[in-house]
Each structure stands twice: as structure tokens, then as C-alpha cells.
Amino acid sequence: MYRGYIMVCSGPNCGVTSGRLADEFEVQIKLAGLRKEIQVIRGGCLGLCGSGPNVIIFPEGTIYSHVQNEDAARIVSEHLLKGGRVEDLLYDENQAAGAVRSLEETDFFQKQTRIALRNCGVIDPQSIEEYIARDGYAALYKALTDMTPDDVIETILASGLRGRGGAGFPTGLKWKFASGNRGKVQKYVCCNADEGDPGAFMDRSVLEGDPHSVIEAMAIAAYAIGADKGYVYVRAEYPVAVKHLGIAIRQAEERGLLGRHIFSTNFSFDLEIKLGAGAFVCGEETALMTSSKRGEPHPRPPFPAVKGLFESPTILNNVETYANICPIILNGAEWFAAIGSEKSKGTKVFALGGKIRNTGLVEVPMGTTLREIVEDIGGGIPKGKKFKAAQTGGPSGGCIPASLIDTPIDYDNLISIGTMMGSGGLIVMDEDTCMVDIAKFFLEFTVDESCGKCTPCRVGTKRLLELLNKITEGRGTMEDLERIEELAAFIKENSLCGLGQSACINCGQCIVACPTGAITTVVETDEVWAAIDNPQKHVIIQTAPSVRATLGESFGMPAGTNVEGKMAAAPRRLGFDGVYDTDFGADMTIMEEATEFMERLKTRENLPIITSCCPGWVKYCEEFYPEFLPNLSSCKSPQQMFGALAKTYYAEKKGLDPRDIVCISVMPCTAKKFELKRDHECAAGEGIPDVDIALTTRALGNMIKRAGLLFEQMPDEAFDPALGIASGAGHLFGVTGGVMEAALRTAAETLTGKELADPVFQAVRGTDRGIKEAEYEIGGALVRVCCASGIKNASQVLDAVKFGEKHYDFIEIMACPGGCVNGGGQPSQPADMRNFTDLKGLRAKALYDEDESMTLRKSHDNPLVKQVYEEYLGRPGSEKAHKILHTSYMVRNYEY
């Protein structure tokens, strides 16, 4: 058994020489004492005759080519004895064929000038040492020790660098505007990494591949304007970029290259990452700086250089702009200004995409023609097709047709031909590309990016896309063109984001689902404070069932903490004249709804009865399932029943004019704000709404904080008795299945006249299932019930009923998954909490526990309920009860 073999190629072309070569190897092997270990084999032709004679060493398979007799000794000693290789004899197929082997030899690479991308794909982005080995942090050192801040600004000005994010504003000028009052006012340096154009990923690549280049440049910028704090705003969808940037910041801090007294100077600089939710609009600079509140553009002036982040002078530059700073400082302004065209200096990174051979990232000097980019660097169009157009500038840009392919690309030339530089997306189209497809592509983008709040945008862009799809599938008609024009004009006129005259059911799930809290609701706390301040007004507050299970979260208490006592105590100290419980309204709802249900059971009309406590669901029904409106219970929701009784029964008892009562509700819900403005929700007369203002749980938390109350240390107090007594059944309204259970408790005892052995209806409990079904025998009748939470589940249940697949007598629907405990008005929790904690389960448990701990567990046992019927309404379902506690619905039709 040999440990290895030497195969000497003995084909006909080099047969004689290789025969001698094999002999020579045998001699050398003997001399080396390897005769028993290595065997020489005279093999056939390898076919590599151009580089023969060839020798292959096994088992490694190393091929040596052009091997001469005198090389045998070297191969034996270097390879077989020492285990190394004879580098100069190694076979290289590429050399043999004259082919290219490395990226650096390709036209793709050689025609580029890499400044911003200098380290991408070269260094380990997680190693600050490798960055420093490529002269990293030398520019910062030079700036801090060799240049004044004004020198730095002058250098950047002289270099002619313009913003790479799209607009092309001179970077040095931006810095100069922000440079006044150094050391006297707080300033900020920000980096815009909220790359949004379709197909553009320059910023991502720089942050992933060379994060230190941005950190170093931001420190230089901070030194130049006199800032000591910086933020990088990165899309949360760029996890690798965020990770690498985070590692890089930590490394720079450890090395003292961020932090206090950098390079032993008086300059200090800290850097933080801010995550953006990835909304397209947030890349716009004014929107970006306010996106912690709400990412909306603001008019300029004031420019950020005067009044930016936190109202302080701020400079905001794009990632690619920063990536150019260090080379300019190190090599000088003249070096940079020598690259590029007359008014656009340096290079630009483009993301090449579409019908082109080499897709990817390229960095070329400004002034490079489109033809050079497409044909030389991009390798041309595949399959020999003709160039049709190139799209630049993202959704705000335009297309460059073939007739303009020799245009040198720079900021000004692109604008003069009707498009723009944008952030650097460059999409190539060939003769087969349909321009309608391109329109479709950008429309798909807008469909995706529509925040979904307003219908013209959300639905309109979708319909527009469907029309374009129809045309591109060859099924278009002339009428479609008209419809497109009409629809496009309609969308443009009617969708100014946020005016939801729409199919939005106001559920607010978008608010609590937004990972960065970028969506907010109307905040009416100022109106509440004003009412409290007004001595004419009697201001009362009612808190919804689930609020006691969630309000504590606003103060950092664990999810599922029941804070009912503190929730009653705090509003008293805020100055409310009466602190009451919506759950009393819930008990009233049960009295009316159970009565309604029992009547329908008797007459078998309008079954199944469907609950109406959830205003999100009610609006959804009106819009999408109007055929079920007769099935809806005519009962007002607990919020509205409470308000209606407050302004009638309570007003009479207290001797108050209902116009002087201001009824504030605190709801887990944003749709409640809509509900109180519905028609027929004013029991005390036209113009006197049952409820004046619906606050969210979040808003009450904010009011308590704003008043400086220490919520956690509040004593536990009871609600005021006038409208503050509720049963455990009322508390259950806050969780899916709770209304059902409360109604069944009352219906069962009313129908049978007997007390339930166990008031718990287990099958309708729990938040883990979106649809819960059960059958109960009540008073000799079979009652089939179903509880659905989440609109998707609701529509599934309704479809099943509509098509006769399912038969129920009683359906409870809540718009939010899990019910009100998971409502759109509840305290926001961070994504990790939402993803990994059963938030709704914990909150629901607080309500179940509260119910279990009470002796008063049924609505019909509530002494306050009994009193209201005795003193005021007569009996459940009476004419007066109907007038005050019931409502009506409307069919809502939207034409898109």
C-alpha cells in the first residue's frame, strides 16, 4: 500500500519527454528513500497538452504543468518530503486559456472607481483592526489634530461633494449652515440610512460591509459643526446592517475612537442607532427627524441645519455621502474634485438591476455615460437584445430612453432630461420590456408602501394595479384606459393620508402592531383638562372592563396586573367629579341583550343574534356584511349605555342639566372615538352626546403621568357608588367570549328560574382560539353559540352562516384578536414583548381572576341595575329602555 502516487502524463504528444520524466521521478523517489511509499504511474493523456508534460500527485490531486526533468527533484523534495507545493509549476487553467480568474481583472471591476465602496467585500466588517489596516480612523486623527473645524468644512466645500441621497445639495454648505455657535448650543449629526427606493441597496451594502467608514465620517462631521451626539437612522428591515453597525460602534468605543476625548483631544462624540419602521416617507429628512413621534414631512424652512432633531441644529447626510468623507480628508479636496464632471464631483454608487448581465453595485465617476455603465460595466443586455430605457431616481424619477444613452450621468444632466439621480437605483429595460410593466412595478411598490389608513390609496392603487395587470395580460379594453385615468385622478385628489372616510374600521390594530410606534391616534387629553378646569361642568369618567388589566403596563407594571383600585383612585386626584365603571354599562347591556335574545329565541326571528358592543365590528358589518344588520343586537355598547344613563337617569337624580355633564370614557379601543359620533347616540336629546370624549388606555396613562401622580403608589380605592357597581360578568366583556358568558349567565337563570351551579362557561373562554363554538342546553332549548375575535375570523364565521354551513343562535364578535384586552387603544408594548409573550392571555387572566374573586358575578344580581330598572326604566326591553339604551345601524356603501 502506497501513501501516494505520481501520475506522469504519457500521452502521444509528450510521450518521449514524459517517459524520461517518469524515469527521473523514480530515481528521485529512490534517492529520497520513498520507494515504498510513493509509486510512479505512467498515465494516459490528460488532454492538457498545451501545458504538458503534466504530473499529478495523488491523493491531493495537485497538477504540475510544463514539468521538466530537472523539476522532478524539486517536486519530490518540496511536495512529497516537506508537504509543501512547488508554486511556479502549479497548473493554472485560466492562464492556460488566457482567462480571467479574479474579480479585479474583470471589466466590471476595472471600469469602476471605488471610493465609497473601497472596503466593501475586502475587509471583515466586524473587525475594527482590518478597517484601521486600510487607513481607517487616520482621517479622524488628521482632522482632530491637524485641522480646525473650519478647515474641515472648507475641505468638504472645496471637494465639491454633493449629497448622495438624491437631492444633491452641497455637503460642505450643509455643514457650514450648521456650524454657527459651536460649543454654545446642543447640535446633532445624523445619518440617513432609511433607504427606500425600489431596488436601491447602496446604503445597506456600505453599512454591512464597511460600517466604520460611516462612524468615522460622522465623528468628523460632528467635529466640524460642533456636535457631540449622533444618530444613525436605519431601517429595521436591515438586520445585518444594524448588527454590524452596532458591533462597530462598540468596537470604536472600546478603542476610544468614540466617546470622550478622542485621540486625547477635547473632542467627544457619542453615536446611537435609531431603528426606522421602514416606511418610505420616513426617508424624507423632516419626516425622519420626527418619526419617533410620527413620520410625516414638515414644511421647510426651518431647515434642519437651523432647527432639526429635538429642535436643535442638525445635519443629516446619507450613508454614501459619509462614506466619501474620510478619503477626502486624507487625500485632499483637489484629489476628489479631479474626479467626476464639472458640477458633480467624485463618484456615484448605482444599484444595477433589470435587463442587464451584471446586476449588482457599481461605483463610477460622475459623468460616466449611461452607455458605459450599461455596456462596459453592466456587460450589456443579455441575449443580444436592444436597450430600451433605464429608470433612475426611484418612484420620483423617470426613464432615460435609448436616444439619450450617451448622456453623461450627473445631477444636473439627469434633471435636464427629466429624471433625477435619486439615491442610485438604475433599472435597465430591453426591447422586450413593456413600459406598462414598469408602471406596474412602481405601482406594486406604492401598493406595498401604502400605510393602509385611507381607502383611496390602499384600495385605489390596488385597483389601478389590477387594471394594468389586465392590460399586460392582453385583456385590456379602451374603456380601461379611461378608468385608469379617472382612478388615478381620484386617488391623487382624495388620498391625503389619514383622512379615513373609508373601509377602515378604526380598530387601531395598526397602532399597537407598529414596531416603532409610528402610528398614533387622535389625542383629546387637552379637551379633557379644559373640561376639568371648567367649574360649570360636571366631569365624570368611566373605565372599560379591560382597562383595569392593562393600565398598569403604562407604568412598567407586569402584563396582567389588575389595577382596578389605583385606576379608581388616580382620576379622583386628576379632578374628575365622579369616577365610575363602564362595567355597570356592561351589566345593563346584558340585561337588554339577554332579553332581546330570549325574545328572538321565542319568535325564531333574526337569529343568530350577533353582539354589538364592538364598534369596529359594527362598522365592518355595515360595510361588508349589511345582510347581517337585522341580526345585530340593537343594544348600544356598554360605553354608550353608561353615557346614556349618565345624562338621563343620573342627571335627574343629581339635579344636573345633561348639557353640563361631560362624560369621558377610557377605552382599550380607538373605534370608540368613532362610535360616540354615530347617529342615535344621544339619549338626552339632539346635540347632547351620550359620551363626549373617548380616551384610550394610553391617553389616561399619559394624563396620570402628566399630573405627576405616582400611580404605583396610589392607594386602592373603590368607584363612586352612583354608577360604579358592576358584576364579574361585566368585567368579562374585556375578553373574547366574555359578552357571551355574561349573557348566558343571565339568560340561563332567567329562562330556568334557577341558580346556575357553576357560572363559568369554559368553552367560550380563552384567547388562544380565534373562533370558539359551543352548545348549551338552556331551559330545555339547545343554544348554539360561537365567539369570533379578529376580523378575519369574523368573516369566516359569517360566510359559513351565510352559505348555510353553520347554524348558530348567538354569535359574539370582537374586531381585535382576543378581544378588548388586545385592543388598539391599549398600551404599546415593544415587538419582542408582543412576539414572545402571550400578552392577551395574561391580560385576560386578570379579568377571569377578578370575576372568580367576586360574589356578585351576574348582571341581573347587580343591585344598581335593579335600582335603575325599578326607579327609571321599568323592565328590560321596555319602551323607555329602548329609547335610551338601543340604537340603529346603516348600510355603508363605498364606491372605489
| Residue ranges that bind another protein, judged by CB under 8 A | 60-63, 85, 87, 90-94, 97, 99-106, 108, 112, 117, 119-130, 132-135, 137-138, 141, 145, 201, 204-205, 208-210, 238, 240-241, 244, 254-257, 263-264, 358-363, 379
CB of 812 to another protein, least distance (A): 45
CB of 295 to another protein, least distance (A): 23
Query: 104 or 879, CB closer to another protein?
Result: 104
CB of 264 to another protein, least distance (A): 5
Print the SS3 string covering 136-174: CCHHHHHHHHHCCHHHHHHHHHHHCCECCCCCCCEHHHH
User: And the C-alpha cell for 594?
Assistant: 339577554
Who's near 726: CB < 8 A, 6+ residues apart? Answer: 581, 583, 584, 586, 587, 856, 862, 864
Cα–Cα distance measured from residue 134 to residue 146, given in angstroms and rounded to the nearest whole number: 20
- Give helix 319-331 / helix 138-146 axis angle, nearest 10°: 60
Query: 124 or 871, CB closer to another protein?
Result: 124
Cα–Cα distance measured from residue 717 to residue 703, given in angstroms and rounded to the nearest whole number: 19
CB of 664 to another protein, least distance (A): 49
Whether the link from the prior residue into 12 is cis, omega within 30° of 0, is no
CB of 771 to another protein, least distance (A): 37
- Answer yes or no: are the C-beta atoms of 269 and 229 closer than 8 Å: yes
661-667/693-696 β-pairing: parallel
Who's near 131: CB < 8 A, 6+ residues apart? Answer: 119, 123, 137, 210, 212, 213
CB of 210 to another protein, least distance (A): 6
Reduced to 3 states (helix: H, G, I; strand: E, B; else coil), residue 277 is: coil
CB of 228 to another protein, least distance (A): 18
Query: 105 or 431, CB closer to another protein?
Result: 105
- Answer yes or no: are the C-beta atoms of 746 and 601 closer than 8 Å: no
CB of 273 to another protein, least distance (A): 17
CB of 521 to another protein, least distance (A): 34
Cα–Cα distance measured from residue 830 to residue 808, given in angstroms and rounded to the nearest whole number: 38
CB of 238 to another protein, least distance (A): 7
**Cα 645 vs. chain centroid, distance in angstroms?**
43
> Which helix or strand (DSSP H or E) is residue 230 part of?
strand 229-235
Query: 257 or 471, CB closer to another protein?
Result: 257
Q: Percent helix, strand and coil across the chain, each rounded to 5?
A: 45, 15, 40
Query: 361 or 491, CB closer to another protein?
Result: 361
Query: 137 or 269, CB closer to another protein?
Result: 137
Query: 240 or 499, CB closer to another protein?
Result: 240
Query: 121 or 297, CB closer to another protein?
Result: 121
- Answer yes or no: are the C-beta atoms of 591 and 860 closer than 8 Å: yes
810-814/781-789 β-pairing: parallel
Query: 73 or 138, CB closer to another protein?
Result: 138
Task: For residue 146, count CB atoms less than 10 angstroms from its CB and return exposed for 0-12, middle for 13-18, buried for 19 or more.
Answer: exposed
Residue in the block written with cell 382597562: 547
Whether the link from the prior residue into 608 is cis, omega within 30° of 0, is yes
Query: 103 or 435, CB closer to another protein?
Result: 103
CB of 111 to another protein, least distance (A): 12
Query: 135 or 775, CB closer to another protein?
Result: 135
DSSP tag of 385? P
Query: 128 or 740, CB closer to another protein?
Result: 128
- Answer yes or no: are the C-beta atoms of 390 and 377 closer than 8 Å: no
Query: 207 or 218, CB closer to another protein?
Result: 207
Q: How many CB atoms lie within 10 A of CB 400?
A: 25
CB of 516 to another protein, least distance (A): 20
CB of 433 to another protein, least distance (A): 18
Query: 140 or 778, CB closer to another protein?
Result: 140
Cα–Cα distance measured from residue 590 to residue 868, given in angstroms and rounded to the nearest whole number: 14
Query: 108 or 642, CB closer to another protein?
Result: 108
Query: 236 or 856, CB closer to another protein?
Result: 236
CB-side neighbour CA atoms (13 Å) of 677:
8
Residue whose C-alpha is closest to residue 171's, from 220, 206, 205: 220
CB of 263 to another protein, least distance (A): 6
CB of 520 to another protein, least distance (A): 31
Cα–Cα distance measured from residue 429 to residue 355, given in angstroms and rounded to the nearest whole number: 5
Q: How many CB atoms lie within 10 A of CB 170?
A: 16
Query: 164 or 772, CB closer to another protein?
Result: 164
- Answer yes or no: are the C-beta atoms of 214 and 322 closer than 8 Å: yes
User: And the C-alpha cell for 661?
Assistant: 355633564
Print the SS3 string covering 310-337: HHCCEEEEEHHHHHHHHHHHHHCHHHHH
Cα–Cα distance measured from residue 596 to residue 632, given in angstroms and rounded to the nearest whole number: 11
Query: 180 or 379, CB closer to another protein?
Result: 379
Reduced to 3 states (helix: H, G, I; strand: E, B; else coil), residue 44 is: coil
CB of 834 to another protein, least distance (A): 25
Print the SS3 string covering 94-146: HHHHCCCCCHHHCHHHHCCCCCCCCCCCCCCCCCHHHHHHCCCCHHHHHHHHH
CB of 325 to another protein, least distance (A): 18
CB of 195 to another protein, least distance (A): 12
Residue whose C-alpha is closest to residue 399's, from 359, 430, 444: 430
